[in-house]
Chains A and B, each alone.
Chain A
Amino acid sequence: MGRDLARVLALWSGRGAWLLAGVIAAVLSTLAGVALLVLAGRVVAGAVAQGQPGAVALAGLGLGALLWLRPVMLFRPVARYLERLVTHEATFRALADMRVWFFTRLAARLPAGIGLRQAGDLLARLVADVESLDGLYLRVLVPAASALAVVVAVAVAVGAADPGLAAVLALPLAAALLLPVALAPVAARAGQAVARAQGGLRSAVIDPLSGIEDTLAANAEARASARVAAEGAALAAAQRDLARRAAWGGAAGSLLVQVALLGTLGWALVAGQSGLAAGLMGVFLAIAAAEALGLMPRAGAALAAAGAGARRLFDAADTPEPVPDPVAPAAVPTGHALRVSGLRFRWAADRPLVFDGLDLDLPEGARIALLGPSGVGKSTLAALLLKFAAPEGGRITLGGVDIATLPAAELRRRVTWLTQDARLFDDTIAANLRLAAPDAEDAALWAALDRAQVGDVVRALPDRLETLCGEGGLRFSGGQARRLALARTLLSPASVVILDEPAAGLDADTERAFLQTLDDAMGGRSVILIQHHLLGVEHPTRILRLAAGRAIPAAG
């Protein structure tokens, strides 16, 4: 856990100034609070002692304290306000960095999609786990720094007068300070259980809602609700367990502070007149310290939650990259002829080979039609051409350069792929299109929409290019969404385009019209057209059929 948290702090180092400023404000505010109670105590004790033999010094101290009372009284609220403001500001900045870092890491690691990791779980990771990290700073580091400052101040102030009393007072306080660290591993397990339960609940909610039509069609409402209720109950049990542990930690912490307070009183009773001044100060210090240390038991739970959150974040962020970029990338090729030779590939060691010695040649400007039944590996070939997966054997070259030696970003600037499930994002049509060409003018967007035969549909919408697509393009019919995705691909500057069932979901007339105009739409680019079958209007330069892991010339 320590290593994970150290790594979190390292990721936050860019916000070091904010974080440090927050800690300083917290220490000042806490010390001011302690000083306030001690000063008030001195004033009253001085008054009470007045007229008592040997208490002249105390009375004098009381008068001095009275003078200090007002500035400290005014300083404390300002320091406290600044502390809360600066610490929260620092946390939010650090957490924003963390979100971006995590997203970027995942983008490099899970390019082929969410796969077996559940989307619900990933959402839990980013939102909840990243947020649990704010506890590391706000509820662990800041209170710990304040409490430490109090313990040190107490030890120094009392230690100057009487080292023995300083030990009686400061040792239990120090123990209360360290208690959360000692309890953290146990609390961490409970914290992990809560985080797991929350992820489970979120998945139980997201899975049926993602497939809402299928859920309802199967009359599965009651089953889905029962699962949500069960996961909710599991979460409640985990939270109860965590709270119980936190309560134990809290009780132990407050008892240690009481030991310091009552121990000091006992010491003063035994010491009598000689230790009166030091004893009095000690008692008020102990009472004041209780407040600063009172936050520490919660720190244990927060530390545990942050540790658990950090573990899960790093677990996801540290999965190996499926295809790491080359350390010393080759020079970017000038041509874009694509050649595949002797390709061997399988998705996992225990799955059958998808390709076994596949050869394929795509000269510049050529248009290959790649046919075959579903599941034969047409889309897998596209994934390999774009380095979403690495071949087990064989070579793929672009313009004569092995793509294994090219950075993925350079490759994807030259080769693009309209996937079967190309998603539209919950944003405007324009924003969706500009993903492919961030600087494109509106005119270029309209041209692409027209070439994808969807320009008239968009023109008929009241908000036109600014129409929101809804999640996964839900606001459009399947065919319309497909054509919008196609328009996005057409905007890409890539010179090689892989079209994976570009006309799926289009009605027959539109499909035919679209495939007829494909040549114009593509300009001089090389095209790999993946289709179940040819309509006879595509005019490819070559037709290949995938079978038994190889590409075989076919007649159509």
Chain B
Amino acid sequence: MASIPAGAEAGAAALLKREARSERARLTTPILLGLGIAACGVAQALLIARLLATLLGRAEAGVADLAAAAALALLMAALAMAQERAQIAAGEDAKARLRAAAFARLLAAGPQDERAVGEKSALVVERIEALEGYFARWLPAAALAVLAPLLIAGAAALADPVSGLILLGAGLLVPIAQAISGIGAGVASRRQFAALQRLSGRFLDRMRGLPVLVLLNQQQAEASRLGAAAEELRARTMRVLRLAFISTGAMELIVGIALASLAYRHGHLVAGTHPAPVSALFTLLLVPVFFAPLRAFAGAYHEQLSARGAAADLAPLLAAHTPDGLLLEEVPPKVTVTFQDVRLTYDPSRPPALDGVSFRVLPGETLLLTGESGSGKTSILRILMGFRRPDGGRVAINGHDVTLLRPSELRRLCSYVGQRAHIFRGTIRDNIAFARPEADDAAILAAARAAQVTEFASDLPQGLDTLVGEGGFGLSGGQAQRVAVARAFLRDAPLVLLDEPTTHLDPGTEAVVLDALRRLCVGRTAIVATHARAARGYFGKVLQLSAGREAGDRMAGN
């Protein structure tokens, strides 16, 4: 087995070991079946040796032996099929468990994890799939590569001790050759995965912005950059394989040496009549049977490296601390939000996003956050959404510190409309019901009306049941935003958080939506990040922010 030096790989090894242990029961079946196949192979080799010796006039075998060999062939085919199924089953469980864990961690990390979506999806899909070979092929093959050759070399030794030793020696050379080529390959395998990850992340990113590329006549240039990235992937992968394939050549050399040694032992050294003709032919015929599990092991070796590379990428994600905290017994009907000298820094090399912000919003009140882009409006909302924990100060809801609550519980308290609503693939109705899946049709329709969604949906051939694509195909920016407002209506939560919800609306629509949003805010606690112009649409107190601090006095206004 390759020893991989870097510290990150320790996590990978631990992860694979842990999963292998929990799959132990499922792995026994394919290993036992593999041993059965090897035993059948030995028995068949003996029968064929007897038949060959008979041809050469040195033994008495006949149709019965031939029939027995045929029966063994059928048995081996059946065992191989059973083994294949058992192997697949062994990988399935581990994959499902790890996939669920990885995806849950990505959701928990939320917008804080700034990796490209393509990169994240590669973790949950490709990286998990890369683990399959580890459980389905590598682990059974590794066990069989030790056990089956021992069984076969033992059988050979019973017939002729020297031949048994020759096979055993050849078998011992194989892992040595594997290890020598595997040490470098382990590191290179990680690089290959990094390249693959970048390639898939880059593609999704460029696909999403394809209109921009085409507009700027850059599609050809981008295609050649993609080609260069693919070329880099090729160079990296070939570096892995150049080493990995040395073991293939070494393996063939070992097979050749074993065959030649047996040929010399039984062909060259013997003068006159061979003392044990059946044994001589038997040990020779055992060579392909002996090397079959070792070949399977060599074939699976690269899968092990791939799995290790994948596991090294997954390990930090899976080891990440899942946000914990108290659960809400019930959603309170009224909430008071208090910020006390709250500080937040995203990136130590940049100025803090929030640098001592304090305010209080009571039930029925609306607080308007204004200020330039980057002044900290969105950061305040992110803390209240549980996407971020403040680095300093205190944020409380109804007097209780929000950091004690589990972030998802915090979100049960609020409805949220962001700057750019994400429209999921599905119907408009699905997209609204997303905010509260148990809502009935009447509630969805009421929310759609309140947010002016029905106004444009009624012009569509399928109305609210019109399919809208990922990214909101078929919906203009304003329409997508209205769907998001409808979600907030349907959600009916005590705390309303709005992040410049009317930025993309024209004045006509904006006025109507502002009216709807005002109604949404009535009787609830509302915090609205907004531009000065749109702020005139709300009634509430204004908190003007500048570089993460309050700028000037708080003033009453409308």
Whether A and B are associated in the same complex: the answer reads yes
| B172 at the A interface (CB under 8 A) | no
Query: Which of B21-29, B236-244, B311-319, B393-401 touches A?
Result: B236-244
| A205 at the B interface (CB under 8 A) | yes
A246-B408 contact in complex given A40-B263, A44-B280, C-beta closer than 8 Å: no
Question: CA separation between A436 and B218, bound complex, in Å?
Answer: 8
Question: CA separation between A462 and B69, bound complex, in Å?
Answer: 76
Chain B residue nearest in CB terms to A246: B84
Taking CB atoms, residues of chain A closer than 8 Å to B213 are: 107, 435
- Residue pair B281, A202 in contact (C-beta under 8 Å): no
| B528 at the A interface (CB under 8 A) | no
| A550 at the B interface (CB under 8 A) | no
- Residue pair B506, A372 in contact (C-beta under 8 Å): yes
Question: CA separation between A41 and B288, bound complex, in Å?
Answer: 12
- Residue pair B100, A225 in contact (C-beta under 8 Å): yes
Question: CA separation between A477 and B277, bound complex, in Å?
Answer: 84
| A428 at the B interface (CB under 8 A) | no
- Grouping DSSP codes into helix (H, G, I), strand (E, B) and loop, the A interface class, with mixed when no group exceeds half, is helix
Question: CA separation between A412 and B125, bound complex, in Å?
Answer: 38
Contact with A along B428-445 (1 / 0, CB 8 A): 000000111100000000
Taking CB atoms, residues of chain B closer than 8 Å to A422 are: 212
| A3 at the B interface (CB under 8 A) | no
Distance to closest chain B CB from A10 (angstroms): 19
A480-B373 contact in complex given A47-B280, A225-B107, C-beta closer than 8 Å: yes
| B392 at the A interface (CB under 8 A) | no
A415-446 with Cβ < 8 A to chain B = 416-417, 419-426, 435-436, 438
Taking CB atoms, residues of chain A closer than 8 Å to B216 are: 412, 416, 435-436, 488, 492
- Residue pair A44, B66 in contact (C-beta under 8 Å): no
- Residue pair B230, A95 in contact (C-beta under 8 Å): yes
A30-69 with Cβ < 8 A to chain B = 33, 36-37, 39-41, 43-53, 55, 58, 62, 65-66, 69
- Residue pair A205, B256 in contact (C-beta under 8 Å): no
A89-142 with Cβ < 8 A to chain B = 89, 92-93, 95-97, 99-100, 103-104, 106-108, 110-120, 122-123, 126-128
Q: Per a CB cutoff under 8 Å, which of A47, A409, A413, A425 touches B267?
A: A47
Taking CB atoms, residues of chain A closer than 8 Å to B111 are: 212-213
Question: CA separation between A205 and B407, bound complex, in Å?
Answer: 21
- Residue pair B73, A207 in contact (C-beta under 8 Å): no
Taking CB atoms, residues of chain B closer than 8 Å to A425 are: 205-206, 209, 212
Chain A residue nearest in CB terms to B107: A221
- Residue pair A41, B284 in contact (C-beta under 8 Å): yes
Q: Per a CB cutoff under 8 Å, which of B215, B241, B249 touches A77?
A: B249
Question: CA separation between A268 and B260, bound complex, in Å?
Answer: 26
| B158 at the A interface (CB under 8 A) | no
Taking CB atoms, residues of chain A closer than 8 Å to B477 are: 374, 420-421
Q: Per a CB cutoff under 8 Å, which of B250, B277, B411, B424 touches A219?
A: B411
- Residue pair B259, A247 in contact (C-beta under 8 Å): no
Taking CB atoms, residues of chain A closer than 8 Å to B220 are: 104
- Residue pair B211, A113 in contact (C-beta under 8 Å): yes
B106-141 with Cβ < 8 A to chain A = 106-108, 110-111, 114-118, 120-121, 124-126, 129
Known: A50-B270, A239-B88. 7 other contacts (CB 8 A): A51-B272, A76-B255, A100-B230, A110-B210, A435-B212, A471-B114, A511-B531
14 example contacts (A-B, Cβ-Cβ < 8 A) are as follows A44-B266, A48-B281, A51-B273, A80-B252, A127-B200, A240-B89, A262-B70, A351-B460, A436-B216, A471-B114, A501-B504, A505-B419, A508-B531, A532-B508
Across the A-B interface, give the 8 residue pairs with the lowest CB-CB distance, nearest first.
A211-B422, A479-B373, A374-B478, A532-B506, A43-B267, A73-B256, A81-B249, A107-B219
